[in-house]
Chains A and B, each alone.
Chain A
Amino acid sequence: AQTVTQSQPEMSVQEAETVTLSCTYDTSESDYYLFWYKQPPSRQMILVIRQEAYKQQNATENRFSVNFQKAAKSFSLKISDSQLGDAAMYFCSHSGNTPLVFGKGTRLSVIA
């Protein structure tokens, strides 16, 4: 069975600092995608970043980047220069030929 594990229920970071959210997954598929979604208090789920498993290069989107370790099945999210608007629930997810499997989420607080 495909699973996604986020071991940090809550994290906090000082404004302008860097924080890393961890995620591990398990799959038997060789071709798949990994995603990080953000859910602010408005509850609208927003895609933050995606990674294709066949790509060795880590994806980056402005202040957001991932550390994708395929052999270790690890997919962490790094947020640089944290901003107050980054405060949200972050969900890691994985997909292949089946619907996305989501982790339980990490609640990120940003301290001014």
Chain B
Amino acid sequence: GAGVSQSPSNKVTEKGKDVELRCDPISGHTALYWYRQRLGQGLEFLIYFQGNSAPDKSGLPSDRFSAERTGESVSTLTIQRTQQEDSAVYLCASSLAVGGEQFFGPGTRLTVL
């Protein structure tokens, strides 16, 4: 079956603009995760969803970041008033249940000019 997909694959935006990143998880996966990965660095956990609920939002870097998930399916990560330090690859993953093996999407590379 299809894996996790993310769109767009690349996004270039100007400082101060808002961006939306989309993640389509594997069908039937109840858990969905967002990570940020700066160049050459490890994974920075942002937020996860159990169904449509986000039990832990403490990883979001600032109030400019928000995420939602609908229909226990697609999720959107929104970054408002983007800053240059937001430039990174944003990875999405899904798993059958929280704590299980995660299947990753190809990521969205965000560049803020």
Q: Let me know if B101 and A33 touch, CB within 8 A.
A: yes
Inter-chain contacts of A102 with B (CB < 8 A):
42-43, 45
Please judge, given known A-B contacts A45-B93, A99-B31, whether A33 and B100 are in contact too, CB under 8 Å.
yes
Residues of B within 8 Å of A, CB-based: how many?
A: 21
Interface residues on A, range: 20 to 34
Q: Does A75 contact B (CB under 8 A)?
A: no
Inter-chain contacts of B104 with A (CB < 8 A):
37, 44-46
Q: Let me know if B42 and A100 touch, CB within 8 A.
A: no
Q: Let me know if A35 and B89 touch, CB within 8 A.
A: no
Q: Does B83 contact A (CB under 8 A)?
A: no
**Minimum CB–CB distance for B44 against chain A, Å:** 9
Could you tell me the distance between the alpha carbons of A42 and B89 in the complex, rounded to whole angstroms?
12
Looking at the complex, which one of A42, A96, A97, A100 makes contact with B102 (CB distance below 8 Å)?
A100
Inter-chain contacts of B89 with A (CB < 8 A):
43
7 examples of A-B residue contacts, CB within 8 angstroms: A44-B106, A45-B93, A47-B103, A50-B101, A98-B99, A99-B99, A105-B41
